[in-house]
Chain A
Amino acid sequence: MNQKLKIFVVDNDQIYLTITQKLLSKISDAFSVSIFYDGIQAFEVLKNLIDSKSNDLPDIILLDLDMPIMDGWEFLENYKKMGINNYKSIPIYIVTSSIALEDVSKSDSYQEVLGYLVKPLNIETLKNILTN
């Protein structure tokens, strides 16, 4: 890969974030990983990048659902309202501990969401996502 793949990981669980970073480093060094502890932090950075028409937009977003201030659902709503897909389509994967069926079916209603992944993530799953 000539250019590093840009990954946004959004989750308030510090341990999960560390684990994810470890797994990504095991797959490749060619990832640029940005960590966000809350939906609102991730959304504001994303918005600024879009507004400034930056080339640093992420290639993939791994999004948790249960977060303080702005949870995953609220992030998705705001993201949808921005109409970012007209500019660049960013695949979003929900990565959560929730196995509630209503959360799974709710995630299906978002075009932007490419997959619903239940924690823990293993290295194969991550590889699949990133190669797709």
Chain B
Amino acid sequence: MIAKKNIFYRNIKCVVIGVLLILFVIGGWMRLVILNEERSDKMTFYLLSTKDRIEQTLKNSHTACITLAMTINDNGEPQNFEQVAEELIKSNNDFDAVQLVPNGIIKYVYPLEGNEKALGLDILNKTEDPIVSYEANKTILQKNIYFSGPFELKQGGIGIIGRIPVFKNNTFWGFSAVVIKLSTFFDNAGLSKWQNEEFSIQFSKTNPFEKEKQFYVKENPSPYGYNYVETQLSNESWKLYIIDNKRGTFYFDLLLEFIMFLCLFLLCVIGIDYFFKKFIFLEQKIIIQEDKLLENEKLFKAVFDGAAIGLIRINKKSRKIELANGHFNKMLGYESDELLGKTTSQISFPEDRMQNEANLSLLAQNKITHFTVQKRYLHKEGYPVWCNLTVSEFTDNKKTEYYLGVVENISHQKEIELKNRINQIRFESLFNDSPIPMWEEDFSEIKAYLNSLNLSDKSENEITEYLNSNPKVIENCIKKIKIIEVNKACLKLHHADNKKHLIQNLKNLFPNEAHETFKKQIISILLNKKQFKEETITTTVNGELKHINFQWKVMTEFENNYERVIITTEDITERKQHEQLVINSQEKINNLINTIEGIVWEVEKEGFVPVFISDKVETILGYKKEKWLQDPHFWINTIYEEDREKVIKDYFALSKESDQFTQEYRMVSKSGNLIWIRNYISVVKNKDSDDTVRGIMVEITKFKEVKLNLNASLEILTNQNKRLLNFSHIVSHNLRSHSSNILAISHLIENTTCEIEKNDYFKMISDVALELNQTLSNLNQLTISEENPNSQKNVINLYDAVESGIAYQRVAIRLAKATIENNIPKDLFISFNEDYLNNVIYNLLSNALKFRNPNEKTEVNFKAFIKENHLFFEISDNGLGIDLEKNKGKLFQMNKIFHLNISTRGLGLFMTKNKIEAMGGTIDVESKVGIGTKFTIKMPIIN
């Protein structure tokens, strides 16, 4: 506040000083203007008065010239020139001589003395003096007086010549002129006698040709560089100047005045500053005093209003409230001032009004100095507010007496008191009428006894050990139990008539198992626990066994000495019986489930969280039940990797279509074997809980193996059947081919008589017979290969078999200059008929050599490896290759030939394929023309 005011006054002070400064500047500037104007006026006065004098001199000269011109008669001859001139000179001292200049030549001069040199001068002649000639001509043109000069006169000295042109009969006659010496001119004009220290005078003429100014008052300076005023005279080339000599003195005087003003200004500033400082000081004092007063008032008000207790001032006579603080107003729900003017009885609860009046009367009669009561005030909304009221006399300085009431709200305490009372009643009622058997006991002696054993720093195990080795401690504790109360339900549980009856039979009520429970209870006390519960047994007074839920708890506020403990012994006999029934049936179900030859399982539909898995999981897959139940991803992770994606995809697709479906897939057992599973799945929709999915996973590995073998056998049989059909066609075709030839030849023989021709036909029949024989031989070979060779299967070392095959064809290999590589592992065995295997190796190697590329060095590579339970046997070459796009379907057919000019019967691959398939294998081919061929034989692995 003070700081704000200080800033405000400082701003005001700055404004005042600023205004003063502006006034000072304006005053100074005006003073400068006035002084300048005064000086200028003075100079103008001198200038104009001097100009008047000069103009007067020139007028006199003009008059003289006219008078002189009048002397010229009509013939152009001057009459009485001398006399007139003398008169003029005598009567006028403004000029020094007069002249008549007919035709521009100075002919008449007065006084002649001293002016002789001027006679005969032709002033119009340019050669004499160009300036004089120019000015003379200008006079003629002007037809009026014109003052030439100042210039150097012929007769000596500097002078001015005033000429008027004279015309006779409108013809230029010449000039009438006066000669004024410059000194005479300056004397008459007052220039010579100029005596003024402040100002100088100057006279100038501008050269008509060079336009330069020449100054003629030699003793005075030129006006340049000074302050001056000027005026032009009747001769336009003449100028008169008044020059200010005292300009420096003027500024000096002005500076003095400025310093005086400045001093005055500074004095004013100091005065203003002092005034404001004093003013601010006083102002601050006032503000501080105001603040103190305000603070005191606030403090008082804050104490009164902000007191966390109700305060009221009561008029002693009228008993009306004169002042009530915020707390009191709030306590009774009134706004400020609403209570003022009301009596204390008016706001008291009706039942408490009399007591209020009585107490105030005692106070008024000075029988008491103060009183304190618990009473009820009436809240604005009509409900009672319990308060603790203390009223005492209050006297202020003016001796006016009041009562001061201090009111404390005690509604909360009153409420708690009430609640406590209600709780007590409720507790008693609950205890007695509770359907659960309850005991109220005093364990303080037990607690004290146990404390005396100094077991407080022992662990639970140590305490248990101690109690086991000191059974008397438990017995002592039982003796120290004080039963305070038991409820009706408790008597009913134990079939006791009353409390006494129950206590008398107390020892019989707790069999050995219950003693164990009591021991655990004692351990809890020793461990400073406040509660304990356990399911245990008890008996009735008649010895009937009862299952109870035993709960023991130290009552609040008795935690230190255990003086009150509540024991409940809920009868759970019926529940226990039911539980046993459930356990028994559960056991039966589990037994039943575990007898099923499949894994019974259940998961939550959302998230596949496992709920149940039967023991068979361990038998079928080798995994522990617990492992399965712990991991929601266990089932998915255990599915064989190749099947997993399909199983999940199918599961979601099938579960959308139906609530019951079946899936077949492979799982990886703990030992790493692949187990075929058929999973019968049911989605179960539960009304009260989340949907679940249940199922039985049945192992079908053997079934699958049988099925696969069956499929393989079926395929082989189908293929064999196809081959047989094909074979029969071929047999039929080939035989028919020969028979038709024989038939045709025999027709030819019949129809010819030529013996030579007949002989040819017989030879042809012989050829047909040979071919027929060859065909039958081929067919015989094929028939042998179709015999079932299973009984002749041997376990053969493949490496050795290939080595034998290579050795068998070594001549052909040498002729073909081929490189044969046997890269088959030496420990690899194949289940195959030995003759067949030799035949297969022979055919494939022979084909590789037969169909070799003549432009390449022939390379044949034998390779074998095991993959996915199968043996792969590869024979690759870099031969001619076969166009598989065209020929793949025909490749393994009989009598099919793919290369021209190479001798072949088209039987080798047909027989090779037959033999491999007869052994339960397959053969496939990859080939590119010009690159080579690779045959891959795939055989099931042998154990």
On whether the beta carbons of B744 and A13 are closer than 8 Å, the reply is no
Chain B residues contacting A66 (CB-CB under 8 Å) are 733, 895
Residues 713 to 761 of chain B near chain A (Cβ within 8 Å)? 729, 732-734, 736-737, 740-741, 743-745, 747-748, 751
**Chain B residues with CB below 8 A from A100, complex form:** 729, 732
Given known pairs A19-B741, A120-B743, A122-B747, the reply for A68 and B906 (CB within 8 Å) is: yes
Q: Contacting chain A: which of B335-343, B647-655, B763-771?
A: B763-771
Q: Does B900 contact A97, Cβ atoms closer than 8 Å?
A: no
Q: Is A129 an interface residue (CB 8 A)?
A: no
Verify B740–A97 contact, CB threshold 8 A.
Answer: yes
The answer to whether B733 touches A19, judged by C-beta atoms less than 8 angstroms apart, is no
B895 touches A119 (CB 8 A): no
**A22 contacts partner chain B, Cβ-Cβ < 8 Å:** yes
B897 within 8 A of A: yes
Roughly how many angstroms separate A68 CA and B743 CA in the complex, as a whole number? 24
Q: Tell me whether A119 and B740 are in contact in the complex, defined as CB-CB below 8 angstroms, given that A68-B897, A98-B733 are known contacts.
A: yes
Chain A residues, CB < 8 A from B906: 68
B304 interface residue (CB < 8 Å to A): no
Within 8 A of B (CB), among A60-92: 66, 68-69
The answer, yes or no, to whether B873 is at the interface (CB within 8 Å) is: no
| Cα distance A119–B745 in the bound complex, in angstroms | 12
Bound-state Cα–Cα, A120 to B896, Å: 23
Interface residues of chain A: helix, strand, loop or mixed (majority): loop
Q: Are A119 and B733 in contact (CB under 8 A)?
A: no
Give the most central of A13, A40, A121: most B CB within 10 Å.
Answer: A13
Asked if B732 and A19 make an inter-chain contact with CB atoms under 8 angstroms apart, the answer reads no
Instruction: List the B residue with the shortest CB-CB distance to A37.
Output: B900
* A122–B744 CB distance below 8 A: yes
Residues of A close to B895: CB separation below 8 A:
66, 68
Q: Does B910 belong to the interface (CB within 8 Å)?
A: no
How long is the Cα–Cα vector from A38 to B737 in the complex, in angstroms? 16
Alpha-carbon separation in the docked complex, A26 to B767 (Å): 22
B776 to chain A, nearest CB (A): 16
Give the total of B residues in contact with A, Cβ under 8 Å.
25
Partner of A13, one of B737, B745, B748, B896: B737
Establish whether residues B748 and A15, one from each chain, have CB atoms under 8 Å apart when the complex forms: no
Whether A99 and B743, one on each chain, are in contact in the complex, defined by CB atoms closer than 8 angstroms, is no
Known contacts A15-B764, A68-B895, A68-B906, A120 near B741 by CB under 8 Å: yes
Does any Cβ of B come within 8 Å of A18's Cβ?
Answer: yes
A82 to chain B, nearest CB (A): 17
Minimum CB distance partner of A18 in chain B:
B764
- Cβ of B134: which chain A residues have Cβ within 8 Å of it? none
Cα of A40 to Cα of B471 in the assembled complex, Å: 114
Q: Is residue A110 within 8 Å, beta carbon to beta carbon, of the partner chain?
A: no
Mark interface residues in B264-305 (1 if CB within 8 Å of A CB, else 0).
000000000000000000000000000000000000000000
| Closest Cβ–Cβ distance, residue B887 to chain A (whole Å) | 10
CB-CB < 8 A to A99: which residues of B?
Answer: 732, 736
Q: Are A19 and B900 in contact (CB under 8 A)?
A: no
* Contact, CB under 8 Å: A19 / B736: no
Pair B737/A19 contact, Cβ less than 8 Å: no
A119 touches B748 (CB 8 A): no
Q: How far is the CB of A57 from chain B (nearest CB, A)?
A: 24
Distance in angstroms from B897 CB to nearest chain A CB is 3
Interface size on A, residues (CB 8 A): 24
How distant is the Cα of A107 from the Cα of B309 in the complex, in angstroms? 124
Cβ contact within 8 Å between B768 and A15: yes
With a cutoff of 8 Å between Cβ atoms, the chain B residues found around residue A16 in the complex are 737, 740-741, 744
Closest Cβ of chain A to B528, distance in Å, is: 102
Residue of A nearest to B765 (CB): A15
B898 lies within 8 A of chain A by Cβ: yes
> Do residues B898 and A121 form an inter-chain contact, with CB atoms below 8 A?
no
Residue of B741, B751, B767, B897 contacting most chain A CB atoms (<10 Å): B741
**Contact partners of B767 in chain A: CB under 8 A:** 14-15
A120 touches B740 (CB 8 A): yes
Min Cβ gap A69→B in Å is: 6
**A13 to B741, Cβ gap below 8 A?**
yes
Chain A residue contacts of B743, Cβ below 8 A: 120
B505 to chain A, nearest CB (A): 107
Residues of A within 8 A of B736 (CB): 97-99, 119
Mask of B896-935 contacts with A, CB within 8 angstroms, 1/0: 1111100000100000000000000000000000000000
Q: A15-B771, A19-B764 are known contacts. Are A119 and B737 too (CB-CB below 8 A)?
A: yes
Which chain A positions have C-beta within 8 A of B898? 69
Q: Once the chains are docked, how many angstroms separate the CA of A18 from the CA of B767?
A: 12
Q: How far is the CA of A15 from the CA of B764 in the complex (A)?
A: 7
Q: Collect the chain A residues with CB atoms within 8 Å of residue B740's CB.
A: 16, 97, 118-120
Closest CB in chain A relative to B457 CB, distance in Å: 105
Check B737 against A97 for contact (C-beta < 8 Å): yes
Q: How many Å lie between the Cα of A68 and that of B890 in the bound state? A: 11
A129 to B: closest C-beta gap in Å: 15
In chain A, residues 25-51, which have Cβ atoms closer than 8 Å to a Cβ of chain B? Answer: 26, 38, 40
B870-900 vs A, Cβ < 8 Å mask (1 yes, 0 no): 0000000000000000000000000111111
Select from chain A the residue with minimum beta-carbon distance to B904.
A68
Q: Which residues on B sit within 8 Å (CB–CB) of A18?
A: 764
* Residues in B whose Cβ lies below 8 Å from that of A118: 740
Which of A15, A40, A98, A120 contacts B747, CB < 8 Å?
A120
* Contact status A19-B897, CB under 8 Å: no
Q: Which residues on A sit within 8 Å (CB–CB) of B899? A: 69
A16, A19, A100: most-surrounded residue (chain B CB, <10 A):
A19
CA distance A23 to B751 in the complex (A): 11
CA distance A18 to B898 in the complex (A): 25
Question: How far is A120 from B743 in the complex, measured between Cα atoms in Å?
Answer: 7
Q: List the B side residues contacting A68 at CB < 8 Å.
A: 895-897, 906
Q: Which chain A residues border B729 with CB–CB below 8 Å?
A: 98, 100
Min C-beta distance of A127 to chain B, whole Å: 13
Complex CA distance for A18 and B733, rounded to whole angstroms: 19
Cα-based distance from A98 to B745 in the complex (angstroms):
19
CA distance A69 to B890 in the complex (A): 10
Are the C-beta atoms of A69 and B900 separated by less than 8 Å?
yes
Residues of B within 8 A of A121 (CB): 744
- The smallest C-beta distance from A25 to any residue of chain B, in angstroms, reads 11
Q: Once the chains are docked, how many angstroms separate the CA of A8 from the CA of B664?
A: 62
Complex interface: chain A residues within 8 A of B744 (CB)? 16, 19, 23, 119-122
Chain B proximity of A66: nearest CB distance (Å): 6
Do B745 and A19 touch (CB < 8 A)?
yes
Measured in the bound complex, the distance between the Cα atoms of B136 and A72 in whole Å is: 151
Q: Which residues of A contact B732 (CB under 8 A)?
A: 98-100
* Alpha-carbon gap, A92 to B363, bound state (A): 151
The listed residue (A14, A22, A40, A69) touching B748 by CB distance below 8 A is A22
| A37 CB, nearest partner CB in chain B, Å | 10
Complex: how many Å from CA A19 to CA B739? Answer: 13
Residue of B nearest to A26 (CB): B751
Chain A residue at minimal CB-CB distance from B746: A120
In the bound complex, CA of A69 to CA of B901 (Å): 11
**Are A19's CB and B748's CB within 8 A?**
yes
Q: A38 contacts B733, CB within 8 Å?
A: no
The smallest beta-carbon distance between A86 and chain B, in angstroms, is 26
CB distance from A35 to the nearest CB of B (A): 16
Contacts of A14 in B (CB 8 A): 767
- Give CA–CA (A99, B895) in the complex, Å: 18
Contacts A69-B898, A97-B737 aside, 18 further interface pairs with beta carbons under 8 A come to A14-B767, A15-B745, A15-B764, A16-B744, A18-B764, A19-B741, A19-B764, A23-B748, A66-B733, A66-B895, A69-B899, A69-B900, A97-B733, A97-B734, A98-B736, A100-B732, A119-B736, A120-B743
In the complex, 7 of the A-B residue pairs with CB atoms within 8 angstroms, ordered by the A residue number, are: A15-B741, A15-B764, A16-B744, A69-B899, A97-B734, A99-B732, A119-B740
- Show the binding face of B for A, using Cβ within 8 Å: 729, 732-734, 736-737, 740-741, 743-745, 747-748, 751, 764, 767-768, 771, 895-900, 906
Q: Which residues of A contact B (CB under 8 A)?
A: 13-16, 18-19, 22-23, 26, 38, 40, 66, 68-69, 97-100, 118-123
- 9 residue pairs, one from A and one from B, having the closest CB atoms: A68-B897, A120-B744, A119-B740, A97-B736, A120-B740, A97-B737, A19-B744, A120-B743, A15-B741
